[in-house]
Amino acid sequence: MKNASPVRGFISSFVNGPWPWLIPALGVLLLFRGYPLGNQFWLAMTDMKIASGDASFVGFENFSFLFSDPNYLTALGFTILFTSFSVFGSFVLGFGLALMLNRQMTGRVIYRMGILTTWAISSLIVGYIWRLMLNESSAGVLNGLLEPFGIGPVPWLSDPNMAQVSVIVADIWRSTGFTMIFMLGGLQTLPNEVLEAAKMDGAKGWQTLLYIVMPLLKPLIAVALIFSTIATFNVYELVLALSSGGPGNATSTVGFEMYRTAFGDSMNAGLGLIGRGAAMGVSMFLVTLMFALIYIRAGVFARDLD
């Protein structure tokens, strides 16, 4: 019988199954996500330069170069440091603020909006704001404030270690609002009676937080950490505006290094190496993917909560 042929069977099960319905969405995803991603992987294996636009296949040469590129390795080291401190700092601060703002207090809405604003501002603008504040002459707000006490001028951005701290603090300032609003949303979904039951059971504030609130918010905490890790790991606008990776390359992140390598900058006219930049981009993609997988395993999809 004709109808029983395997090809026919496959076609009819395809047509009657879910796939035809998914084609529009998958098409859009492939066009706008899949193609750029694939293209980047391709570029990463070529020696394309921004000046010529010619590209020839070089295999994994760009990747093996990264492992010996001091600029890349320095940037990678700082990015890991930067991401760890910034994610941790903004989580602790954001969660703390969320706990505070979860109570009945006057002006709650105003505080909430004010703190969220930091996240709504473009990273580039945040970088410029902080650069102004950290201006090392007494015109800078911070040094201006410290001057009467006989402190300073503090080399906020010209000392390598200080510059690293400054960039991290600025990023914590930028991302705290997001964590706060995210965790506040979570706190407000917690059933009040469960918290009261803990109170009747004799739990102090910190015990309720540790044994009840945190475990119940575990999935949400994981999501907040994933989002902020990914956003922080890929940062480059903030660095560009605040420190341009300097002094030297003390505050250069992988994202910034990728930008500088691929598109060049005024101080490194010799760069503009699209292929090598793409390889850095791929390395960022892999690290981001790894973080996502770790956090997902850690509890995003925990289903034991009712």
Partner 1 sequence: MSDLKITGLTKSFDKLEVIPPLDLYVPDGSFTVLVGPSGCGKSTLLRMIAGLEVPSSGRLELSGKDITQAEPADREIAMVFQSYALYPHMSVERNIEFGLKLARVDIEERKRRISEAARMLQLEQLLERKPAALSGGQRQRVAIGRAIVRDPKVFLFDEPLSNLDAALRAKMRVELAELHARLGTTMIYVTHDQTEAMTLADQIVIMNKGKIEQMGSPIEAYDRPATRFVAEFLGAPRMNVSEQEKAKSSGAFALGLRPEDIGIVQNQTQNSWQGRVRLVERLGAETIIYTDTDGFGDLVVRAKSDVQVSPNDVVHILPDLSKAHRFGEDGNRIDP
In the complex, the residues that contact partner 1 under the rule CB under 8 A are 191, 193-194, 196-203, 207, 211-212, 215-216, 218, 304-306
Tell me how far, at minimum, the Cβ of 217 lies from partner 1, in Å.
10
- Residue 104 C-beta: closest distance to partner 1, Å: 12
**Least distance in angstroms from the C-beta of 214 to partner 1:** 10
> With respect to partner 1, which residue has the nearer C-beta, 213 or 235?
213
- CB nearer partner 1, residue 112 or residue 218: 218
Q: CB-wise, 135 or 207, nearer to partner 1?
A: 207
Q: 136, 126, 129: which is closest to 171 by C-alpha?
A: 126
**153 is written with which tokens?**
């001028």
Give the Cα separation of 183 and 98 in Å (integer).
Answer: 6
Residue 179 CB, nearest approach to partner 1 (Å): 22
Q: Rounded to an integer, what distance in angstroms lies between the CA atom of residue 101 and that of residue 283?
A: 39
C-alpha to C-alpha distance for 79 and 7, rounded to whole angstroms:
52
Q: Which is nearer to partner 1, 16 or 189 (CB)?
A: 189
| Smallest distance from partner 1 to CB 103, Å | 15
CA 82 – CA 253 distance, rounded (Å): 8
In the chain, the N- to C-terminal Cα span, in Å, equals 52
Cα–chain center distance at 146: 32
CB closer to partner 1 out of 105 and 200: 200
**3-class SS string, 6-75:** HHHHHHHHHHHCCHHHHHHHHHHHHHHHHHHHHHHHHHCCECCCCCCCCCCECCCHHHHHHCCCHHHHHH
Q: Which residue, 45 or 221, is less far from partner 1 as judged by CB?
A: 221
* The length of the chain, given as a count of residues: 306
Q: Is 55 exposed, middle or buried (0-12, 13-18, 19+ CB in 10 A)?
A: middle
Q: How far apart are CA 187 and CA 178, in angstroms?
A: 14
Q: Which is nearer to partner 1, 146 or 190 (CB)?
A: 190
Residues 292, 234: Cα–Cα separation, whole Å: 13
Q: Does residue 135 come out as left (phi exceeding 0), alpha (psi in the -120 to 50 range) or beta?
A: beta
Q: In angstroms, rounded to a whole number, what is the distance separating the alpha carbons of residues 221 and 214?
A: 8
Nearer to partner 1, 146 or 203 (CB): 203
